[in-house]
Structure 1
């Protein structure tokens, strides 16, 4: 892979597993240094062991408001600059709304919506001052279709899809690109919360994506000429039908 991101620093949240880990590895392969934001210190240390100083682990509990507020200043202390924010951390609540737990709903909405907004809010002054930057948010196919088996999760992604499109219009004048990646079902730990019959159906029909495939598209978005913004990419497994 061409090292098109040499000299860049990326911050990836939820970086120790799934799409976040795949994104981290793709960014490293493209020449970027990556601040990995997660709570799984062992997983981050393992990647640093393979890639050395290009990996900068940063243990943060994003659901703790005080801890979350330290993300940008601590990342800048580690890396000196932030060129890319991949706001990827998220949670999943599926099934019938009547069966959902209120605490789980609060946690998911905080992580999928509030934390993303706060992370983007906190990094913008740095990017505005430098007149450049890229922000990519991990959204979902659920942001584009009222998925009946996951109303809470889908609602969080609809909200963040609106956030991406409106913030993009506010900040492009500063040289900052904002976009989202909206994959269909990806083979990650989040699928463990899918309704068993839906998961079985997807496995049998080949209707799942690999995290690495999503990461390839993230890299594609980041390596377009500065005059081009990929606002949103919807990725669907060929055999997945809503």
Structure 2
């Protein structure tokens, strides 16, 4: 551990698995105290047991009233300080639009867009008076490319990419940095909804990224000099372009 984030307090949503867990491990390994937010209590207990500075917080972000309590509960666990917030929780809906379940569309758009906006809003209200803080959002390559096999998911990420960039321009005056990481396909549970033939093709061609590789990028973003903002990193396996 190099201790690049020693003394910092961070919170990550969707932290019990995938990119969220990789992000948490990376920040913990750099010395940060990390609040891991997830709705899966058992998974949180399992992963947090590995690190002394990991603090589990069970919240269902799709529950409107519970979502409102997120930042106050985080601050209770960190002693009133939050330096880093990683909005990572998300859902995936792939395939043809006409085959998509309308209820699944509502849940995905709520978590991928509305919840991120509300969480970031509440985080800014804490960070802005302190004149420092970092907000990171997990976006997707789908935010930059009209992906034909996932129009619903891609639309949510186009929306959140716009949100990240416009919010960043609002709050830089308060000393806050807002950025996103936009990975291509990452080996996480979200890929379970991919069309079977597309997933098999990606695995065979080496067109998937590991979550730990995304976490390394997040640490890079967080450890730049305060006068530098990495506003968006688009990362994908080279073979994805084949």
Structure 1 and Structure 2 fold alike (TM over 0.5): yes
Counterpart check, 1:35 vs 2:39: no
Counterpart check, 1:69 vs 2:68: yes
Counterpart check, 1:223 vs 2:202: no
Residue equivalent to 1:78: 77
Q: Distance in 2 between matches of 1:153 and 1:166?
A: 20
Counterpart check, 1:155 vs 2:158: no
Displaced runs of 4+ in structure 1, greater than 2 A? Answer: none
Q: What are the Cα deviations for residues 161-181 of structure 1, in whole angstroms up to 9, with x where unaligned?
A: 000000000000000000000
Q: What are the Cα deviations for residues 123-155 of structure 1, in whole angstroms up to 9, with x where unaligned?
A: 111100110000000000000000000000000
Q: Distance in 2 between matches of 1:143 and 1:48?
A: 31
Residue equivalent to 1:115: 115
Q: Distance in 1 between matches of 2:43 and 2:96?
A: 33
Segments of structure 1 that go 5 or more residues without pairing to the other structure are: none
Q: Distance in 2 between matches of 1:57 and 1:41?
A: 8
Residue equivalent to 1:214: 214
Residue equivalent to 1:239: 239
**RMSD over equivalenced CA pairs, Å:** 0.8
Deviation at 1:116, TM superposition (A): 0.2
For 1:115-134, list aligned pairs within 5 A.
115-134=115-134
Deviation at 1:9, TM superposition (A): 0.6
Q: Distance in 1 between matches of 2:151 and 2:181?
A: 19
Q: Distance in 2 between matches of 1:99 and 1:16?
A: 29
For 1:164-183, list aligned pairs within 5 A.
164-183=164-183
Residue equivalent to 1:57: 56
Q: Distance in 2 between matches of 1:73 and 1:195?
A: 39
Q: Distance in 2 between matches of 1:51 and 1:189?
A: 23
Deviation at 1:47, TM superposition (A): 2.5
Q: Distance in 1 between matches of 2:171 and 2:152?
A: 29
Q: Distance in 2 between matches of 1:120 and 1:240?
A: 31
Segments of structure 2 that go 5 or more residues without pairing to the other structure are: none
Residue equivalent to 1:198: 198
Deviation at 1:42, TM superposition (A): 1.6
Deviation at 1:43, TM superposition (A): 1.8
Q: Secondary structure at the match of 1:6?
A: coil
